Amino acid sequence: MKLPYAEPFRIKMVEEIYQSTQEQREEWLKNANYNLFNLRSSHVFIDLLTDSGTGAMSDKQWGALMIGDESYAGSRSFDALQQTVENITGFPYLLPTHQGRAAENVLFSVLVKEGDVVPGNSHFDTTKGHIEFRKAHAIDCTIDEAFDINDLHPFKGNLDLEKLEAVYRSHPKEQIPFCLITITCNSSGGQPVSLENIKAVKELSDQYGIPVLFDSARFAENAYFIKKREKGQQHKTIKEICKELFSYGDGMTMSSKKDGLVNIGGFIALKNREIFEQASNFTIIYEGFITYGGMAGRDMSALAAGLDEATEFPYLESRISQVEYLGNKLMEAGIPVQKPIGGHAVFIDALNFLPNIKREEFPAQTLAIELYKEAGIRGVEIGTLLADRDPETRENRYPKLELLRLAIPRRTYTNNHMDYVAAAVKNVFERRNDITKGYKIKREPAILRHFTVQLDRA
Ligand SMILES: *Cc1c(COP(=O)(O)O)cnc(C)c1O
């Protein structure tokens, strides 16, 4: 008999979670102004809000934490992190930051100015925020297949080279500080970018003299998909794939809360010494001295260990097969999800799930609220609230997809939890025709509204 798959770890510490009643949850929702970011975590049974900083650390990481070096400058923890990052990426110049958006803030302070354009594949929300805050524009060059949730393209995070070249042709070089490749592509569903596409983007960008940077929060998951799906890559190790992938770029920003397997942290890694020196000045004003940048020494040690673990195949296989497990359960029940299932989350197509809710009443947010009400599960809207308003016209931007994201924290929940989630989604699906009213905005901030927007029943 062929043995079934089993996780390559066992559990050393557990945390209790509590189930509430539907009545309690309705009350809490109202108090939270129907924004799930405003809920207390103790009011959530299974928290799939994000996979960012919510995973479990290994015994090796906890061990590394104990031997962290808290020296202000030149700590052993920094050296360990710098060595690990250079081994994995090939980038010699490292600037730690307190998280990914801080890395964006520091690096974009050097590179992005008013009127610039930054082409890429569906920029992440904070990334776009940091570009638009500087009165520059993010231009989405993702392939069209990414926006058809039933298209089985294996690399839906890929950039469309024609769209990219059109940007390069229509703007002077001085207005394009870099091309940004997000791996995996979060906003289009945790979808990977192929090595072939990365290489082609690099070649095209070289022709126009434009640097290539990576927004690399889930680079290891991206490398796993390359190994599994791309021709000629099966025999390579994850670390070999990472090394090649990063060789086609000039630098990276990183949110260590994802594939760094830690709860907080980020960094910039660069090929070029001059940009590193300029960015160092901004690190010192915004983050801290250049060998800690807002991180404790112990956290840098845990991060070094985490990066090493995240780039090993058995870990990635357990991680991504759990996400697939949930996705398959939902598909079997006929629930419209984005295919293929992405690396860190399952995305439910809310326009198909709740056809009775008008676009301007936020179908994906409505679905998120219904799922919380049903079973105490917290997901997140990846739709019109997240897409925010056009910075010039202030009109709502309606994205092509209106999704509910169920992000799976790393090494945190069991497949029984996944079964529970699948059953709850099915229950909501069965009563979908009774859900006819969505939500309207009561109050919203000027940018990044989805975090703090206040809603009311429409
Ligand atoms: C999470 C994330 C960021 C921002 O990182 P934080 O650590 O949350 O500040 C940037 N880009 C991508 C692709 C991300 O997933």
Burial 121-141 (b: 16+ CB within 10 A, else e): bbbbbbbbbbbbbbebbbbbb
Of 124, 168, 267, 282, which residue is the catalytic one?
124
pLDDT-based confidence at residue 153 (cuts at 50, 70, 90): very high
Closest CA to 416 of 316, 329, 310: 329
The long-range contacts involving 369-373, CB below 8 angstroms and separated by at least 24 positions, are: 369/29, 369/34, 369/36, 369/439, 370/428, 370/435, 371/404, 371/424, 371/425, 371/428, 372/25, 372/29, 372/36, 372/39, 372/44, 373/22, 373/25, 373/26, 373/29
pLDDT at residue 446, as a whole number: 86
Active site residue 124: yes
Q: Residue 189 pLDDT more than 90?
A: no
Active site residue 231: no
Q: Which tens digits make up the pLDDT trace of 111-127?
A: 999 999 999 999 998 89
Q: 24-28, 368-372, 395-399: which range is least confident on average?
A: 395-399
Arithmetic mean of pLDDT, 401-429: 97
DSSP secondary structure string for all residues of 353-375: H-TTS-GGG-HHHHHHHHHHHHH
Q: Residue 135 pLDDT more than 70?
A: yes
Q: Residue 105 pLDDT more than 80?
A: yes
Point out the ligand 1 atom lying closest to the alpha carbon of residue 99. Answer: 7
Amino acid at 3: L
Point out the ligand 1 atom lying closest to the alpha carbon of residue 265. Answer: 7
Average pLDDT of every residue of the chain? 96
Residue 419, token pair as written in the block: 């079964």
Q: What is the DSSP letter of 32?
A: T
Three-class SS state of 334? coil
Q: How far is Cα 89 from Cα 419, in angstroms, rounded to an integer?
A: 37
pLDDT at residue 188, as a whole number: 67
- 430 alpha carbon to ligand 1 midpoint, in Å? 34
- 191 alpha carbon to ligand 1 midpoint, in Å? 15
Of 123, 156, 202, 450, which residue is the catalytic one?
450
Active site residue 450: yes
Give the pTM.
0.94
Q: How far is Cα 28 from Cα 30, in angstroms, rounded to an integer?
A: 5
Active site residue 286: no
**Which CATH number, 3.40.50.2300, 3.40.1260.10, 3.40.630.10, 3.40.640.10, labels domain 59-310?**
3.40.640.10
Q: Which tens digits make up the pLDDT trace of 301-340?
A: 999 999 999 999 999 999 999 999 999 999 999 999 999 9
Q: Residue 433 pLDDT more than 70?
A: yes
Active site residue 217: yes
Q: Which tens digits make up the pLDDT trace of 28-75?
A: 999 999 999 999 999 999 999 999 999 999 999 999 999 999 999 999
**What CATH class does 22-51+313-457 carry?**
alpha beta
Position with higher pLDDT, 401 vs 135: 135
pLDDT at residue 401, as a whole number: 84
Q: Where are the domains of the chain?
A: 22-51+313-457, 59-310
Q: 141-150, 172-181, 412-421: which range is least confident on average?
A: 141-150
pLDDT at residue 391, as a whole number: 80
Q: Which tens digits make up the pLDDT trace of 230-283?
A: 999 999 999 999 999 999 999 999 999 999 999 999 999 999 999 999 999 999
**Same fold across 22-51+313-457 and 59-310:** no
Position with higher pLDDT, 400 vs 365: 365
Point out the ligand 1 atom lying closest to the alpha carbon of residue 101. Answer: 9
Of 51, 125, 140, 388, which residue is the catalytic one?
125
pLDDT at residue 390, as a whole number: 86
Q: How far is Cα 443 from Cα 435, in angstroms, rounded to an integer?
A: 24
pLDDT at residue 12, as a whole number: 94
Residue recorded with tokens 């990334």: 127
